[in-house]
Structure 1
Amino acid sequence: MAAREEPDRAGSAAARDALREAILAGQYLPGERLVEAQLSDRLAASRFNVRIALQDLAAEGLVEIQRNRGAQVRKVSLEEAIEITEVRMVLEGLVAARAAERVSADQATELDEIGLLMRRAVTAGEYRRYSDLNHRLHALIREIAGHRTADGIIETLRGQLVRHQFMLSLLPGRPQTSLPQHEAVIAAIRDRDPKAAEDAMREHIASVLEALRSIDALSNQDGA
């Protein structure tokens, strides 16, 4: 009888993190098959660790595993994306309020610097850079808040919205709309005003919802 392979937590965690990063970066598209043998070569990981990594990412909602068909990047419908964003609105509002209570002077300065870089990116039409700064800003706010439970949930939800976030970034005028919203969030956190920070963040995420619904409406028109 062949010896049963023992779990390698470090190896499977490394494979999981690398694969998650690749999916979030768009290197694997929704619906694309994730073949264990190919992933094993790409990630320099054993098939066993790749299998565990896929199971972990399935639990996060990034991967779907179907019996007799293997794993694939999970497709998230626009309707589900809207529901996920509704949950994000509540959680990110909570996190922004907590960040306003806990922000240090150095962290406030870092928020200001990101806000300035975001404005420069929009002025220069560097929308990919703006998108990267957007992610950096939200990550910093979560770091300041230090709410581990909310942080983990938000990161998992964000991962499921990668394709829809890309679609949003292509909407004409979207960066110009979201920039002042981000600046309002930054200002409220710097002023240590939890209510204003929560309101500003919820207003920002509400505009994301509105944009997603506009995409949904356009899709329905195209299919009519």
Structure 2
Amino acid sequence: MTTSDTAQKRLGTLDDAITAIRSSILEGEFAPHQRLVEVDLCEQFGVSRAVVRNALLKLTSEGLVEHLPNRGARVRAISLDEAIEIVEARAALEALCARKAAERMTPEAREYLTELRAAIVDALESGDLAEYSMLHQRLDHYIRDLSAHHTSTQILERLQAQGARHQFRLSFRPGRAARSGPEHLEIIDALLAEDADAVEEATISHLKGVITAMRES
């Protein structure tokens, strides 16, 4: 095996560990303030202690993990006030990405968004909240990709990871999909119309609604 092959294998192992631990935090397997013991994580995910240590450093930079003096790492708790601040920051960046996406529409993007819109309508009508949650995440990611605004995308990915636990709970609250669904459809319709002003306004309006719903919790 060449030196480059070894480096690539090591990199993949670290990426896998970061993804696995991040998912465990976001999905609630690891609770807020729970200690993250390196030896236990090595055994759970089948990686070395050095890989776990580097993965925790990466997740610390993302704001998902914190290190306490002489106590090691633990899952960082995001308060409701901080989660609201995160959404407020996201609103400006997501509105920018939405505007850029409207300016970069292509026939392929139009086809994809039309199909995604139909799938969202189907999920809403059938009451499939898990499917709807997955679809609106796909919409968020697609808008960022289409915008090609890499700086905003990088910041948004970090912010969204930090606020994901609050967002996840909110998405399954009774009646929430009935309010957010039409907002997502409005965003898609503005994109299909290539109306940058309208999609920016719809994005900000949607996230203001998210903040209102979070405060009502």
Fold match, TM over 0.5?
A: yes
Give the equivalent residue in structure 2 for 1:55: 57
- Alignment root-mean-square deviation, CA: 1.5
SS in 1 for 2:70: coil
Q: How far apart are 1:127 and its partner, in Å?
A: 0.7
2:4 corresponds in structure 1 to none
Tell me what 2:210 maps to. 208
Q: 1:39·1:50 contact (CA, 8 Å) conserved in 2?
A: yes
The more displaced of 107-116 and 24-33 is 24-33
Q: Which residue of 1 aligns with 2:121?
A: 119
Q: Is the 8 A contact 1:93 1:201 kept in 2?
A: yes
CA contact (8 A) 1:26 1:162 kept: no
Q: Which of 160, 164, 170 is residue 168 of structure 1 equivalent to?
A: 170
Aligned residue in 2 for 1:220? none
Measured after TM superposition, the shift of residue 44 of structure 1 is 1.8
Query: Structure 1 residues 47 and 151, CA, compared in 2 at 3 Å: closer, same or farther?
Result: same
Q: Which runs of 5+ in 1 are unaligned?
A: 1-6, 216-224
Q: Find the counterpart in structure 1 of residue 135 from structure 2.
A: 133
Q: Is the 8 A contact 2:27 2:165 kept in 1?
A: no
**Which letter maps to 1:114?**
L
- Residues 142-199 of structure 1: CA distance to partner in whole angstroms, max 9, x if unpaired? 1111111111111111111122112212332110111111111111111111111111
Secondary structure of 2:32's counterpart equals coil
Q: Which range moves more in the overlay, 131-140 or 35-44?
A: 35-44
Partner secondary structure for residue 13 of structure 2: helix
Instruction: Supply the distance in 1 between the matched residues of 2:145 and 2:127 (Cα, whole angstroms).
Output: 28
Identity %: 41
- Structure 2 unaligned residues grouped into runs of 5+: 1-6
* Alpha-carbon distance, 1:71 to partner: 1.2
Letter in 1 for 2:104: R
